[in-house]
């Protein structure tokens, strides 16, 4: 059963399912793999043309989390350039706070995590989905790929650790060199006729957490103090100048669609923070969310919010979960 907030798409549209913040971790977020499996089953069943996942794909940036996600994507035959695009989130590099005691040592974990090694692990884990980079050893970000009528631009917005500016890893910053490369990509004549869709982990709207939400986890409360994309205005200016049509992001765990100076923004989360209106609603509780980006054959781009209630079909999913987490 599905519910769509905005009517969308004709059958000839090119449709992207935008999901985010899946936080898969064998150690701490085992239930997320079942949620993701149900959501992917629905999206595959609905014959979407492409899936975009905008970071925090793993909960803790560990090998086991990446392996679990890979197995799940393989199970649905999604580890392919044409079918999937991903970008990296702060949890994929620094991990997160999952227990109260983690609060005390998380700062030092962020300080000692090898940022570049974590980026390489992420890139290896989803290698089938990335374009080939000319120079070996360089990060894959930023990248551009052409899929159907869309040019997808993937950006790494995760700031390196800094004791003052990024003490828990969740703030964002895009290095000048990356912004300049993104600009070159966006202005390249070969994608002039295509829709330009950016995949980035950090948000561009004002972050207003729902203070009374039961869905607000310990980490979300902690992280709320430090969610920020430094240099956001400059990045947005480049997007505007280069004719970006839509920006897909995650990070806040607040689902939404908004527009800023002619650009549409899609904010998605597998683990959404529920607000006052639906916090006690059992139906809302069982819904999984994603956003749909559709490009019509006339070239109109539209973003819609989707809610899905996925009932497990007949058998228990435990066998598959076991296989994924083995």
d(CA 114, CA 94): 9
Q: Which is nearer to Fe ion, 223 or 236 (CB)?
A: 223
Q: Which is nearer to Fe ion, 37 or 91 (CB)?
A: 91
For Fe ion, the binding residue among 173, 195, 251, 305 (CB under 5 A) is 251
Which residue's C-beta sits nearest to Fe ion? Answer: 56
Should residue 202 be labelled a site residue for Fe ion when binding is judged by CB under 5 A? no
Should residue 90 be labelled a site residue for Fe ion when binding is judged by CB under 5 A? yes
Name the H helices within 101-175.
102-112, 115-125
For Fe ion, the binding residue among 17, 21, 22, 238 (CB under 5 A) is 21
Q: Which is nearer to Fe ion, 254 or 324 (CB)?
A: 254
Q: Which is nearer to Fe ion, 13 or 267 (CB)?
A: 267
Q: Which is nearer to Fe ion, 208 or 241 (CB)?
A: 208
Should residue 60 be labelled a site residue for Fe ion when binding is judged by CB under 5 A? no
CB 326 within 8 A of CB 292: no
Should residue 173 be labelled a site residue for Fe ion when binding is judged by CB under 5 A? no
Q: Report the half-sphere exposure of 122 (CA within 13 A, side-chain side).
A: 31
Should residue 203 be labelled a site residue for Fe ion when binding is judged by CB under 5 A? no
What is the DSSP-derived secondary structure letter of residue 286? T
Should residue 89 be labelled a site residue for Fe ion when binding is judged by CB under 5 A? yes
Task: Taking the CA atoms of 129, 14, 270 and 90 in sequence, report the sign of the dihedral they define.
Answer: positive
The strand pair at 50-54 and 14-19 is best described as: parallel
Q: Which stretch binds Fe ion (CB under 5 A): 21-29, 211-219, 241-249, 273-281?
A: 21-29
Name the H helices within the chain.
30-45, 63-75, 90-94, 102-112, 115-125, 176-186, 218-223, 232-241, 282-285, 318-324
Interface residue list for Fe ion (CB under 5 A): 21, 56, 89-90, 251
């Amino acid at each position: 059963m599905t519910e769509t907030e905005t009517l969308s798409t004709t059958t000839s549209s090119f449709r992207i399912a935008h999901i985010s913040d899946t936080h898969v971790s064998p150690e701490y977020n085992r239930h997320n793999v079942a949620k993701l499996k149900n959501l992917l089953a629905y999206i595959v069943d609905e014959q979407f043309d492409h899936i975009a996942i905008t970071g925090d794909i793993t909960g803790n940036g560990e090998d086991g989390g990446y392996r679990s996600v890979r197995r799940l994507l393989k199970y649905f035959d999604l580890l392919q350039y044409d079918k999937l695009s991903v970008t990296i989130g702060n949890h994929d590099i620094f991990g997160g706070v999952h227990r109260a005691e983690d609060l005390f040592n998380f700062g030092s974990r962020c300080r000692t995590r090898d940022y570049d090694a974590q980026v390489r692990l992420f890139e290896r884990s989803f290698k089938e989905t990335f374009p080939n980079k000319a120079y070996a050893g360089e990060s894959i970000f930023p990248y551009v790929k052409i899929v159907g009528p869309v040019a997808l631009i993937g950006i790494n917005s995760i700031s390196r650790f800094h004791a003052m500016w990024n003490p828990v890893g969740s703030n964002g910053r895009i290095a000048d060199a990356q912004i300049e490369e993104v600009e070159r990509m966006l202005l390249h004549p070969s994608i002039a006729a295509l829709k330009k869709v950016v995949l980035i982990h950090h948000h561009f709207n004002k972050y207003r957490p729902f203070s009374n939400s039961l869905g607000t986890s310990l980490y979300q409360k902690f992280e709320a103090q430090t969610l920020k994309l430094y240099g956001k205005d400059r990045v947005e200016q480049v997007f505007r100048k280069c004719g970006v049509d839509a920006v897909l992001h995650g990070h806040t765990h607040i689902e939404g669609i908004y527009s800023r100076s002619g650009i549409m923004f899609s904010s998605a989360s597998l683990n959404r923070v529920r607000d006052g209106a639906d916090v006690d609603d059992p139906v809302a509780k069982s819904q999984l969310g994603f956003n749909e980006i559709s490009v019509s054959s006339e070239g109109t781009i539209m973003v819609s919010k989707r809610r899905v209630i996925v009932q497990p079909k007949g058998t228990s999913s435990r066998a598959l979960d076991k296989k994924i987490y083995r």
